[in-house]
Copies of this chain bind each other. A is one copy, B any other.
């Protein structure tokens, strides 16, 4: 299971960071799901091996431009590239109104089926290999977090139990692993499903939209390996800016993740004031955010950068993948256009 960050800046793009968009891929297959779609997400995709034709669903956290202004262009390019497969759009009702207005006023033609699902507390959707649910957040407009859980965990046969019950290896093992009912030579009847166990716990990640109350995610984060959350400022800058924009600081998110013992925390959506390579004495470094979060959080901590891909291994471990590992993962995907 992999997450690729296509944009990690809040509000406006910088030369190093685009605005929000995160691609999530299951372990197998070429399908993927996109959370948020800031302007130029389709441009970022041209520099990855993710194919827009294999995109299964776009989940929009909220209707602010830096999270959805790339949607019309991405949908238009899918049309130009001959997409016929259905696409699901999930988000607040305002996102659908926005998209419908753009389609109408700009004569945008979309012939493939585009299904809209309004996000709600009762959302339950399976797309791209994930079971998707949602949690409402606190922001100056309706904003949501999406929880994506692996929908199909491979199973293996519990051979220890079988041998304890004196069912010895035979071609019947194969049928049991398929979940079939089997009659043994001694007359016993076995239900294969009772002898199949998940090869690993289902992996899950929460990807949150803009939010000034991380604690709203307590329930959603139960059992997840990873939380992806905005950390727009440090606590000091947040106090200067004031509460009006309703963003989180790094300390706030880190304290929440620590209290809930979330194994890994990935921060993103950084104010453009934080630079990767500060040049002048008054420049603020992105390392300020890392230091603040690390002070409050003892788990695995990352600050996302554009085009980084993170993996969640079957054992639940989250790590930054090397470019080579990413390419091995996706060496069967089609190459992009010029």
Instruction: Show the binding face of A for B, using Cβ within 8 Å.
Output: 11-16, 18, 39-40, 42-43, 46-47, 63-66, 68-70, 72-73, 76-77, 80-81, 94, 97-98, 101-102, 104-108, 141, 272, 275-276, 336-338
Which 4 residue pairs are nearest across A and B when measured between Cβ atoms?
A: A101-B101, A98-B105, A40-B40, A39-B73
Distance from A274 Cβ to chain B, minimum over Cβ atoms (Å) = 9
Residue of B nearest to A78 (CB): B12
CA distance A102 to B94 in the complex (A): 10
Residues of B within 8 A of A39 (CB): 39-40, 42-43, 69-70, 72-73
Residue of B nearest to A74 (CB): B39
Distance from A64 Cβ to chain B, minimum over Cβ atoms (Å) = 6
CA distance A66 to B80 in the complex (A): 12
CA distance A77 to B336 in the complex (A): 29
Whether A43 pairs with B18 at a CB distance below 8 angstroms is yes
Whether B106 pairs with A338 at a CB distance below 8 angstroms is no
The one of B11, B15, B338 in contact with A336, judged by C-beta atoms closer than 8 angstroms, is B15
Residues of B within 8 A of A272 (CB): 337-338
CA distance A40 to B68 in the complex (A): 13
Residue of B nearest to A99 (CB): B105
Could you list some 8 contacts between A and B, CB below 8 A?
A: A12-B42, A39-B40, A63-B106, A65-B106, A68-B106, A69-B76, A98-B105, A101-B105
Whether A107 pairs with B64 at a CB distance below 8 angstroms is yes
Q: A13-B42, A272-B338 are in contact. List 17 more A-B contacts (CB 8 A).
A: A11-B77, A12-B81, A13-B46, A13-B77, A15-B338, A16-B338, A39-B40, A63-B106, A65-B72, A65-B108, A66-B76, A69-B69, A94-B106, A101-B105, A107-B141, A272-B337, A276-B338
